[in-house]
Amino acid sequence: MSVNAVTLTELTKSFGTVRAVDGLTLDIPQGQTLALLGPNGAGKSTAIGMLLGLSAPDSGTAEVFGGGPQAAVRAGRVGAMTQEGGLIPRVTVRELVGFVAGCYPAPLPVDQVLATARLTGLAGRRADRLSGGQAQRVRFAMALVGDPGLLVLDEPTAALDVEARREFWEGMHHFAARGTTILFSTHYLDEADDHADRIVMISGGRVVADGTAKEIKRVTALTTVSLTVSGETAWLARLPGVSAVEIRGGRARLRSTDSDATVTALAEARAIRDLEVSPADLEDAFVALTAAPLPPTPETSAAR
Protein backbone atom coordinates (compact mmCIF):
# COMPACT_ATOMS: atom_id res chain seq x y z
CA MET A 1 0.00 0.00 0.00
CA SER A 2 1.27 3.50 -0.80
CA VAL A 3 1.85 5.91 2.04
CA ASN A 4 -0.21 9.07 2.39
CA ALA A 5 1.01 12.18 0.65
CA VAL A 6 0.55 14.06 3.94
CA THR A 7 0.20 12.86 7.51
CA LEU A 8 -0.22 15.43 10.29
CA THR A 9 -0.46 13.99 13.78
CA GLU A 10 -1.50 16.07 16.82
CA LEU A 11 0.31 19.18 15.53
CA THR A 12 0.44 22.17 17.86
CA LYS A 13 1.96 25.61 17.38
CA SER A 14 1.69 28.66 19.60
CA PHE A 15 2.81 32.26 19.20
CA GLY A 16 3.06 33.71 22.67
CA THR A 17 -0.29 33.10 24.33
CA VAL A 18 -2.06 32.37 21.03
CA ARG A 19 -2.49 28.69 20.11
CA ALA A 20 -2.57 28.88 16.31
CA VAL A 21 -2.72 25.12 15.72
CA ASP A 22 -4.21 22.93 18.42
CA GLY A 23 -3.81 19.17 18.03
CA LEU A 24 -4.36 19.10 14.26
CA THR A 25 -4.52 15.58 12.82
CA LEU A 26 -5.00 15.06 9.09
CA ASP A 27 -4.21 12.38 6.49
CA ILE A 28 -4.23 13.17 2.76
CA PRO A 29 -4.03 10.15 0.41
CA GLN A 30 -1.97 10.43 -2.74
CA GLY A 31 -3.89 11.75 -5.73
CA GLN A 32 -6.52 13.63 -3.71
CA THR A 33 -7.44 17.28 -4.15
CA LEU A 34 -8.21 18.74 -0.73
CA ALA A 35 -9.46 22.21 0.15
CA LEU A 36 -8.50 23.59 3.55
CA LEU A 37 -11.05 26.14 4.72
CA GLY A 38 -11.31 28.32 7.79
CA PRO A 39 -11.82 31.94 8.86
CA ASN A 40 -8.91 34.33 9.23
CA GLY A 41 -6.75 33.23 12.14
CA ALA A 42 -8.00 29.64 12.00
CA GLY A 43 -4.45 28.28 11.64
CA LYS A 44 -4.43 27.38 7.93
CA SER A 45 -1.20 29.15 6.97
CA THR A 46 0.55 28.03 10.15
CA ALA A 47 -0.37 24.41 9.46
CA ILE A 48 0.82 24.73 5.85
CA GLY A 49 4.11 26.22 7.06
CA MET A 50 4.74 23.19 9.29
CA LEU A 51 3.72 20.81 6.50
CA LEU A 52 6.37 22.41 4.27
CA GLY A 53 9.03 22.33 6.97
CA LEU A 54 9.18 26.14 7.12
CA SER A 55 8.54 26.06 10.86
CA ALA A 56 8.77 23.37 13.50
CA PRO A 57 5.73 22.30 15.51
CA ASP A 58 5.74 22.73 19.27
CA SER A 59 4.56 19.13 19.43
CA GLY A 60 3.24 16.47 17.08
CA THR A 61 4.63 15.37 13.73
CA ALA A 62 4.29 16.28 10.05
CA GLU A 63 5.18 13.72 7.39
CA VAL A 64 5.21 14.07 3.61
CA PHE A 65 5.33 10.84 1.59
CA GLY A 66 6.30 8.98 4.77
CA GLY A 67 9.27 11.16 5.71
CA GLY A 68 10.15 14.60 6.96
CA PRO A 69 8.82 17.62 5.03
CA GLN A 70 12.27 19.07 4.38
CA ALA A 71 13.52 15.80 2.88
CA ALA A 72 10.51 15.68 0.53
CA VAL A 73 11.11 19.29 -0.52
CA ARG A 74 14.83 18.63 -1.19
CA ALA A 75 13.90 15.58 -3.27
CA GLY A 76 11.67 17.74 -5.48
CA ARG A 77 8.48 15.96 -4.43
CA VAL A 78 6.75 19.12 -3.17
CA GLY A 79 5.85 22.34 -4.96
CA ALA A 80 4.49 25.26 -2.96
CA MET A 81 2.81 28.56 -3.66
CA THR A 82 2.65 30.63 -0.48
CA GLN A 83 0.98 33.96 0.23
CA GLU A 84 4.23 35.68 1.12
CA GLY A 85 7.48 36.28 -0.72
CA GLY A 86 8.49 38.61 -3.52
CA LEU A 87 10.00 37.74 -6.89
CA ILE A 88 13.68 38.17 -7.69
CA PRO A 89 14.23 41.57 -9.37
CA ARG A 90 16.02 42.23 -12.66
CA VAL A 91 15.39 38.80 -14.17
CA THR A 92 12.79 37.82 -16.74
CA VAL A 93 9.92 35.46 -16.07
CA ARG A 94 11.56 32.77 -18.23
CA GLU A 95 14.91 33.19 -16.45
CA LEU A 96 13.27 32.92 -13.03
CA VAL A 97 11.20 29.84 -13.85
CA GLY A 98 14.24 28.28 -15.58
CA PHE A 99 16.38 28.92 -12.50
CA VAL A 100 13.84 27.19 -10.26
CA ALA A 101 13.62 24.28 -12.72
CA GLY A 102 17.37 23.80 -12.37
CA CYS A 103 16.93 23.13 -8.64
CA TYR A 104 14.92 19.94 -9.28
CA PRO A 105 16.11 16.51 -10.43
CA ALA A 106 13.46 16.01 -13.13
CA PRO A 107 11.69 19.28 -13.92
CA LEU A 108 9.00 19.86 -16.50
CA PRO A 109 9.94 21.74 -19.70
CA VAL A 110 9.93 25.46 -18.96
CA ASP A 111 7.85 26.29 -22.05
CA GLN A 112 5.19 23.78 -20.97
CA VAL A 113 4.98 25.34 -17.51
CA LEU A 114 4.81 28.87 -18.90
CA ALA A 115 1.92 27.80 -21.14
CA THR A 116 0.09 26.10 -18.26
CA ALA A 117 0.44 29.22 -16.11
CA ARG A 118 -0.64 31.48 -19.04
CA LEU A 119 2.75 33.22 -19.01
CA THR A 120 4.02 32.58 -22.54
CA GLY A 121 3.37 36.16 -23.60
CA LEU A 122 5.11 37.48 -20.49
CA ALA A 123 8.19 35.24 -20.64
CA GLY A 124 10.53 38.10 -21.56
CA ARG A 125 9.18 40.63 -19.06
CA ARG A 126 11.02 41.40 -15.83
CA ALA A 127 9.49 39.57 -12.90
CA ASP A 128 9.51 42.67 -10.69
CA ARG A 129 7.45 44.65 -13.22
CA LEU A 130 4.33 42.50 -13.19
CA SER A 131 0.87 43.18 -11.88
CA GLY A 132 -0.31 41.37 -8.76
CA GLY A 133 -2.24 38.78 -10.76
CA GLN A 134 0.66 38.21 -13.16
CA ALA A 135 3.09 37.77 -10.26
CA GLN A 136 0.71 35.23 -8.75
CA ARG A 137 0.83 33.23 -11.98
CA VAL A 138 4.64 33.29 -11.83
CA ARG A 139 4.50 31.84 -8.30
CA PHE A 140 2.20 29.16 -9.65
CA ALA A 141 4.69 28.32 -12.42
CA MET A 142 7.51 28.11 -9.87
CA ALA A 143 5.44 25.64 -7.83
CA LEU A 144 4.71 23.48 -10.90
CA VAL A 145 8.06 23.37 -12.67
CA GLY A 146 9.64 20.68 -10.49
CA ASP A 147 6.83 18.25 -11.44
CA PRO A 148 6.04 17.57 -7.77
CA GLY A 149 3.88 14.77 -6.41
CA LEU A 150 2.34 17.23 -3.94
CA LEU A 151 1.25 20.79 -4.72
CA VAL A 152 0.56 23.03 -1.72
CA LEU A 153 -1.24 26.25 -2.65
CA ASP A 154 -2.01 28.89 -0.02
CA GLU A 155 -4.74 31.22 -1.35
CA PRO A 156 -3.59 30.65 -4.96
CA THR A 157 -6.26 32.76 -6.69
CA ALA A 158 -6.34 35.68 -4.25
CA ALA A 159 -5.02 38.26 -6.76
CA LEU A 160 -6.66 36.84 -9.90
CA ASP A 161 -9.70 38.10 -11.76
CA VAL A 162 -12.59 35.82 -12.67
CA GLU A 163 -11.17 34.75 -16.04
CA ALA A 164 -7.71 34.11 -14.59
CA ARG A 165 -9.26 32.03 -11.79
CA ARG A 166 -11.05 29.89 -14.37
CA GLU A 167 -7.82 29.38 -16.32
CA PHE A 168 -5.95 28.54 -13.12
CA TRP A 169 -8.37 25.74 -12.25
CA GLU A 170 -8.18 24.36 -15.78
CA GLY A 171 -4.45 23.95 -15.19
CA MET A 172 -5.05 22.39 -11.79
CA HIS A 173 -7.38 19.78 -13.23
CA HIS A 174 -4.65 18.82 -15.70
CA PHE A 175 -2.23 18.10 -12.87
CA ALA A 176 -4.85 16.36 -10.75
CA ALA A 177 -5.58 14.05 -13.68
CA ARG A 178 -1.88 13.10 -13.71
CA GLY A 179 -2.18 11.90 -10.10
CA THR A 180 -0.71 14.95 -8.40
CA THR A 181 -1.91 15.47 -4.83
CA ILE A 182 -3.20 19.01 -4.36
CA LEU A 183 -3.77 20.82 -1.07
CA PHE A 184 -5.14 24.34 -1.36
CA SER A 185 -6.54 26.90 1.02
CA THR A 186 -9.00 29.49 -0.23
CA HIS A 187 -11.56 32.07 0.85
CA TYR A 188 -13.55 31.44 -2.35
CA LEU A 189 -15.97 28.78 -1.14
CA ASP A 190 -17.22 28.15 -4.67
CA GLU A 191 -13.69 26.96 -5.57
CA ALA A 192 -13.76 24.38 -2.80
CA ASP A 193 -17.26 23.28 -3.79
CA ASP A 194 -16.38 22.97 -7.48
CA HIS A 195 -12.81 21.64 -7.46
CA ALA A 196 -12.05 19.70 -4.26
CA ASP A 197 -12.52 15.95 -3.78
CA ARG A 198 -12.57 16.60 -0.05
CA ILE A 199 -13.00 19.63 2.20
CA VAL A 200 -11.49 20.07 5.65
CA MET A 201 -12.70 23.02 7.73
CA ILE A 202 -10.62 24.19 10.67
CA SER A 203 -11.41 26.67 13.40
CA GLY A 204 -9.25 27.50 16.38
CA GLY A 205 -6.49 25.36 14.93
CA ARG A 206 -8.57 22.18 14.98
CA VAL A 207 -10.65 20.22 12.46
CA VAL A 208 -14.38 20.93 12.79
CA ALA A 209 -15.59 19.21 9.60
CA ASP A 210 -14.09 16.73 7.15
CA GLY A 211 -15.79 15.26 4.11
CA THR A 212 -17.08 16.00 0.64
CA ALA A 213 -18.93 19.25 0.04
CA LYS A 214 -22.20 17.30 -0.01
CA GLU A 215 -21.45 15.59 3.31
CA ILE A 216 -20.51 18.84 5.02
CA LYS A 217 -23.65 20.58 3.81
CA ARG A 218 -25.72 17.66 5.08
CA VAL A 219 -24.10 17.45 8.52
CA THR A 220 -25.07 21.02 9.39
CA ALA A 221 -28.77 20.16 8.89
CA LEU A 222 -29.46 23.71 7.76
CA THR A 223 -31.96 25.19 5.35
CA THR A 224 -31.98 28.76 4.04
CA VAL A 225 -35.30 30.59 4.25
CA SER A 226 -35.23 33.90 2.40
CA LEU A 227 -37.91 36.56 2.09
CA THR A 228 -38.40 40.26 1.35
CA VAL A 229 -38.53 42.40 4.50
CA SER A 230 -39.10 46.02 5.48
CA GLY A 231 -38.92 47.89 8.74
CA GLU A 232 -37.58 46.38 11.95
CA THR A 233 -36.04 42.91 11.53
CA ALA A 234 -34.56 41.97 14.93
CA TRP A 235 -37.56 39.69 15.62
CA LEU A 236 -36.48 37.34 12.83
CA ALA A 237 -33.63 36.01 14.98
CA ARG A 238 -36.17 34.88 17.59
CA LEU A 239 -38.14 32.68 15.21
CA PRO A 240 -38.10 28.93 15.94
CA GLY A 241 -35.23 27.10 14.24
CA VAL A 242 -33.35 30.24 13.19
CA SER A 243 -29.63 30.16 13.97
CA ALA A 244 -28.46 33.18 11.94
CA VAL A 245 -29.96 36.13 10.07
CA GLU A 246 -28.42 38.09 7.22
CA ILE A 247 -30.05 41.18 5.68
CA ARG A 248 -29.03 42.22 2.17
CA GLY A 249 -30.77 45.05 0.38
CA GLY A 250 -34.24 44.51 1.80
CA ARG A 251 -34.04 40.72 1.69
CA ALA A 252 -33.47 38.48 4.71
CA ARG A 253 -31.69 35.13 4.62
CA LEU A 254 -32.48 32.98 7.65
CA ARG A 255 -30.37 29.92 8.38
CA SER A 256 -32.71 27.45 10.02
CA THR A 257 -32.42 24.00 11.59
CA ASP A 258 -36.20 23.56 11.32
CA SER A 259 -37.50 25.24 8.20
CA ASP A 260 -41.08 24.00 8.73
CA ALA A 261 -41.27 25.73 12.12
CA THR A 262 -39.62 28.85 10.74
CA VAL A 263 -42.02 29.15 7.79
CA THR A 264 -45.05 28.43 10.00
CA ALA A 265 -44.02 31.23 12.37
CA LEU A 266 -43.55 33.60 9.45
CA ALA A 267 -47.01 32.72 8.14
CA GLU A 268 -48.56 33.32 11.56
CA ALA A 269 -46.85 36.72 11.62
CA ARG A 270 -48.18 37.42 8.11
CA ALA A 271 -44.64 38.20 7.06
CA ILE A 272 -44.28 35.94 4.02
CA ARG A 273 -43.26 37.96 0.99
CA ASP A 274 -41.40 36.40 -1.96
CA LEU A 275 -40.54 33.37 0.16
CA GLU A 276 -37.84 30.94 -0.96
CA VAL A 277 -36.67 27.80 0.87
CA SER A 278 -33.47 26.07 -0.25
CA PRO A 279 -30.98 23.54 1.13
CA ALA A 280 -27.83 24.81 2.79
CA ASP A 281 -24.93 25.75 0.55
CA LEU A 282 -21.25 25.52 1.48
CA GLU A 283 -21.26 29.11 2.77
CA ASP A 284 -24.07 28.25 5.20
CA ALA A 285 -22.13 25.21 6.42
CA PHE A 286 -18.92 27.23 6.72
CA VAL A 287 -20.56 29.88 8.89
CA ALA A 288 -22.32 27.32 11.05
CA LEU A 289 -19.24 25.19 11.65
CA THR A 290 -16.56 27.84 12.07
CA ALA A 291 -18.53 30.45 14.01
CA ALA A 292 -19.65 28.04 16.72
CA PRO A 293 -17.45 26.70 19.55
CA LEU A 294 -15.61 23.51 18.76
CA PRO A 295 -17.89 20.52 19.49
CA PRO A 296 -16.77 18.23 22.34
CA THR A 297 -16.94 15.07 20.23
CA PRO A 298 -15.97 14.20 16.64
CA GLU A 299 -19.57 13.37 15.76
CA THR A 300 -20.09 16.72 14.00
CA SER A 301 -17.45 15.82 11.42
CA ALA A 302 -18.75 14.24 8.24
CA ALA A 303 -17.62 10.74 7.50
CA ARG A 304 -14.93 10.56 4.83
Question: CB neighbours (10 Å) of residue 268?
Answer: 10
Q: Is residue 245 part of a domain?
A: yes
Q: How confident is the model at residue 304 (pLDDT cuts 50, 70, 90)?
A: very low
Provide the angle, in degrees to the nearest 10, between the axes of the packed helices 132-144 and 162-177.
0
Q: Is residue 204 part of a domain?
A: yes
Query: Over the stretch 172-203, which tens digit does the pLDDT of each residue have?
Result: 988 899 999 999 999 888 999 999 999 999 99
Domain boundary among 180, 196, 216: 216
210 plus 228 within the same structural domain: no
Residue 55 has φ and ψ, to the nearest 5°, of: -145, 155
Q: Give the CATH number, domain containing residue 207.
A: 3.40.50.300
* Burial category of 234 from C-beta neighbours within 10 Å (exposed 0-12, middle 13-18, buried 19 and up): exposed
User: Which residue segment(s) compose the domain that 227 sits in?
Assistant: 223-279
154 plus 271 within the same structural domain: no
Q: Is residue 30 part of a domain?
A: yes
155 plus 244 within the same structural domain: no
Query: Over the stretch 11-68, which tens digit does the pLDDT of each residue have?
Result: 999 999 999 999 999 999 999 999 999 998 899 999 999 999 999 999 999 999 999 9
User: What is the per-residue DSSP string for 152-178?
Assistant: EEESTTTT--HHHHHHHHHHHHHHHHT
Residue 101 has φ and ψ, to the nearest 5°, of: -60, -35
Identify whether the C-beta of residue 81 lies closer than 8 Å to the C-beta of residue 143: yes
Q: Is residue 110 part of a domain?
A: no
179 plus 61 within the same structural domain: yes
Q: Which residues does 243 contact at the CB level (< 8 Å), separation at least 6?
A: 222, 255, 256, 257, 288
Q: Is residue 138 part of a domain?
A: no
212 plus 265 within the same structural domain: no
Identify whether the C-beta of residue 108 lies closer than 8 Å to the C-beta of residue 147: yes
pLDDT of residue 297 exceeding 60, the answer is no
Structural domain tally of the chain? 2
- pTM value is 0.78
Give the Å distances, CA to CA, from 18 to 13, 43, 86, 262, 292. Answer: 9, 11, 27, 39, 19
Q: Is residue 102 part of a domain?
A: no
